[in-house]
Structure 1
Amino acid sequence: MIHEEPLHSAKIGVWYAISRRRIIGRIFFNRTVATNEYLEIFNTFVNQLDDQELSMGYFQQDGATCHTSNASMAEIQSFFGDRIISKGLWPPRSPDLTMPDLFSVGTSERDSL
């Protein structure tokens, strides 16, 4: 009898945004994120924004390759114009914590109460 086991344990990613007024999303995914998957996540996020957030908000992201591909940046710019904080400000997969990172610490414990 052959018993197969996955090489790596299953992982789930979560994507969300924080504005000065609210938390937007909690978009879950369980696959490696390439440009097409990132655009799906981004468009799901954009559909949750109100008119003021779209017209006045800034969009911040790290410099991960799928975030900064030509297709991704064109889509992001179509909604946020020059109000984008992105590539070149810190390296992809940086250990530096951002506001969403700080927010998510302990969320699973709070959500289970």
Structure 2
Amino acid sequence: MQENLEDDEFDERLVFSDEATFHTNGNVNRHNVRIWGEENPHATVEHERDSPKVNVFCAISKNHLHGPFFFEGNVTDDVYLQMLQKWLMDELIANEHEDFVFQQDEAPPYWKLTVRAYLNENLPGRWIGRAGDEDNVLLKWPPRSPDLTPCDLFHWGYVKGLVFVPVFLQT
């Protein structure tokens, strides 16, 4: 990936993608937040089981934000594949560089054979993600790697900051 990013034209082609969960009760899902310190902070997080939520997908390139796309219910491989087929590919073809490169992380729905077969057929050698030896992928997403994409480093934090304004800041 680093070698590709040294190519001045690669960043023009790259489209990062990710989804986030928004709980309707106001709880903010901070699944990528880690607490580092010399001592155990004894931090606890309470979870409400099966709280109502909305799953949202976005893709970001150097020049365009694609989305939001709202999923009804949980994001499964079938639901994700339908989103790719019925919305995202048309969106990317219409608005991106003609030989764009699509990135997805290692979320379980992305790893399913049906999703990978679709990407192999429609974006041969132009997708980045968790892949098997038989996949026609540009780059394999490293196992257990952190999400270090613009979606996680900026976009979702910014959007959740707008959506979940603390009560004491509301006027």
TM-score normalised to structure 1 length: 0.75
Q: Select between 96-105 and 64-73 the one with higher mean Cα deviation.
A: 96-105
Separation (CA, whole Å) in 1 of partners of 2:107 and 2:81:
13
Size of the aligned set, in residue pairs, is: 105
How many angstroms apart in 2 are the aligned matches of 1:49 and 1:61?
Answer: 14
**Greater fraction helix:** 1
TM-score between both structures, scaled by the size of structure 2: 0.52
SS state of the match for residue 81, structure 1? coil
Tell me the residue number matched to 1:62.
Answer: 105
Q: Which runs of 5+ in 2 are unaligned?
A: 1-47, 131-139, 166-171
Which shows bigger deviation, 94-103 or 69-78? 94-103
- Consecutive unaligned residues of structure 1, counting only runs of 5 or more, are 1-5
Secondary structure of 1:14's counterpart equals: strand
Q: CA RMSD in A?
A: 2.6
- Whether the 8 Å CA contact 2:106–2:143 is kept in 1: the answer is yes
CA contact (8 A) 1:13 1:29 kept: yes
Q: 147, 151, 158: which one pairs with 1:106?
A: 158
Following superposition, the deviation at residue 53 of structure 1 comes to 2.9
